[in-house]
Chains A and B, each alone.
Chain A
Amino acid sequence: MARPIYKTESGATVYGILAEFSNPYTLSEAAKSVRDAGFRKWDTHSPFPIHEMEESMGIVGKAIRPMMFVIGCGALLGVCGGYLMQWWINYDYAIIVQGKPTYQAWEPFVPITFELGVLFTAFSSILGMLAFNGLPRHHHPLFSSDRFLRSSDDAFFLSVEARDEKFDPSATRRLLEEAGATHIELIEE
């Protein structure tokens, strides 16, 4: 069944619905009711981390697993690449310092192996984080709402996308109103 496409009165496509809450506690409670209603494509926005939010949104540990895989791969790449690089350099063009063995000794290779492991772990964390967040992107429909700008200052928001199968402009609005939203608006694509 094709997903219905909602239009506003001006004829623009609806991106989703944005609800404002007065404090983190009502936002957390609202997130629970949205979670229990079975929505999948939705998010909460707050100026600061709210610790219980993962649980309220029902996403505990879900988002982190692909990240762990990416970071693990980055770490292994850094460690193996770092060691092999040094081994190859010392094998191919050995420089004897203080009469110490060159590529037969493992000791001198440890610091660079370790540091490259850390460096690549950091790289893969940053790049993986950007990739999974769909960043960089220049614009997001939510930014068309002036009220939403306050989500980085002193307001708490919950947005439900129209792409969600359960989305219905009036029913979802009612759900959010019952959850205690102080202000609700439709966001255009």
Chain B
Amino acid sequence: MSQAAMGSGQSLSQVVSNDARLTRENITLTDQAPGRLVGIFLAIGAAGILVTLIGAQVLDVKHALAAYHVAFMGVLSICLGSLFWVMLFHILGATWSVTIRRQFENVMRAMWLCLILFLPIVILEVASQGILFSWMDKAYTQGDPVYASKSGYLNVPFFLIRAAIYFGLWLLLVRKFWSWQQEQDSTADRWLTNKARYTSAWGLVIFGLTLTFSAFDWLMSLDYHFFSTMWGVYIFAGAAYSSMAVNILIMQWLRHTGRLEGVVTTEHRHDQAKLLFTFTVFWAYIGFSQYFLIWYSNIPEETSYMLARKMFYPELTFVLVVGHFCLPFVLLLPRPAKRSSIWITIMAIGAVIIHFVDMYWIIQPMADIREMGEGVDPIGLKGAWVVAAAVVGVFGLFGAVVIRNIYSTPLVPLNDPRLGACLRHKNYV
């Protein structure tokens, strides 16, 4: 039956498994045109960007750029988190995740969009000698011993070189993993799975280094006096958390359209929910560890970071702690909650939103860092609408690209050696 149903498709007909669930109708969206959905997302994206530009007029360029920075870093970390999950699944030889891995790949393939989204930031910052990146401003750093000691790392040419290296390596990894996936879909070469595994080994090292240093460059250096050795891990925790949430949402949407029936089941969703829960706790653990060390050591350069957020953004801090840890911890803890379709959808939407709140909490106070000592009140939550617009805008563009990716390929890796085991996957605990 399944052979007949697969019919003419070049790659689909070569599916190793004769499983009745792997029919063309069930594991592809290619019979539908993605046009309308992509159009909606593009429209939302354009509207969001437009409102952000209006925000630049109403407020000022600095805060609008900070809002855009929030959106960019949020989307970038979702992309990077997806790359991380793909490599993790490969290196572990994970069976349960084979049918959900394709959607991580579809998200990570949007990396080129992140590069394009990054260009306005880097051009604006360099051209105007530091809007948010105050260390780019020669006049501002004049005679600052803290900058003098860091100037070997924090200078524009090296900053640009590093950015090029990060994106080069990320795009290379994405390209490698994705081309092998495509090749395996059509040729059923099982050796490609091994290749992906080898590449994941050094890929994860590269990922750890590039994520950490890009987090230093693009987030921590916004306040170049501040430093935290936990920073990279903190950003990683958010990236893994949000990308898992995005993947859950894509899966829920695909299941809603009637695809992947029996291919991605409650069992897979249960495991995804476990990982979502894991990274809720991990984020809190890392977040508290960072806060705790800063609180204890009481060094001015470090405490100013936490003080700015506690004093000027108390509501945001409260929302972040409750929304990123307390609520998901309690609401995702019971087993039935992890297995409930509607519940996990709500939790995943919440996770994506709170991830952008996290970025908001990190970046927005940095915009007022220069005026902090001059008795000028920071913008506080007055600029929240611009941040919301920028996030919706960038996320809209990102969504359009991801949806186009989803429509363009089969929804599961067709010839993965572990596909059969994945279809039998079941949780006993």
Contacts and interface: CB of A to CB of B under 8 A. Distances in A.
Contact of A107 (B296, B426, B428): B296
Nearest to B427: A51
Nearest to A64: B429
B283 to A, nearest CB: 15
B298 interface: yes
B298 A98 contact: yes
B191 interface: no
B428 A110 contact: no
Contact of A110 (B292, B426, B429): B292
Interface residues of A, number: 12
A66 interface: no
Interface in A100-147: 100, 107-108, 110-111
A107 B294 CA distance: 11
A185 interface: no
B198 interface: no
Interface string B380-422: 0000000000000000000000000000000000000000000
Interface in B251-291: 288, 291
A98 B295 CA distance: 11
Contacts of B298: 98, 100
A54 B292 CA distance: 44
B329 to A, nearest CB: 12
Contacts of A108: 296
A111 B285 CA distance: 10
Contacts of B288: 110
A64 B54 CA distance: 57
B-side interface size class: under 10
Contact of B428 (A54, A98, A111): A54
Contacts of A54: 428
B146 to A, nearest CB: 23
A64 B292 CA distance: 36
A56 B317 CA distance: 49
A54 B429 CA distance: 10
Contacts of A111: 292
A71 to B, nearest CB: 12
Contact of A51 (B291, B292, B296, B426): B426
A108 B295 CA distance: 9
A98 B288 CA distance: 20
B78 to A, nearest CB: 29
Nearest to B297: A98
A98 B296 CA distance: 9
B215 to A, nearest CB: 24
A44 B295 CA distance: 54
Nearest to A99: B298
A60 B296 CA distance: 47
Interface string A50-85: 011011000010001000000000000000000000
B428 A51 contact: yes
B115 to A, nearest CB: 40
A110 B292 CA distance: 9
Interface in B290-326: 291-292, 295-296, 298
A110 B291 CA distance: 12
Contact of B292 (A60, A98, A100, A107): A107
A110 B293 CA distance: 12
Contacts of A107: 291-292, 295-296
Nearest to B292: A107
Contacts of B426: 51-52
A172 B56 CA distance: 82
Contacts of B295: 107
B321 to A, nearest CB: 12
Nearest to B334: A68
B161 to A, nearest CB: 40
Nearest to B333: A72
A91 B291 CA distance: 24
17 contacts: A51-B426, A51-B428, A52-B426, A52-B428, A54-B428, A55-B428, A60-B428, A98-B298, A100-B296, A100-B298, A107-B291, A107-B292, A107-B295, A107-B296, A108-B296, A110-B288, A110-B292
Identify the 7 closest CB pairs spanning chains A and B, nearest first: A107-B295, A51-B428, A54-B428, A107-B292, A110-B288, A110-B292, A98-B298
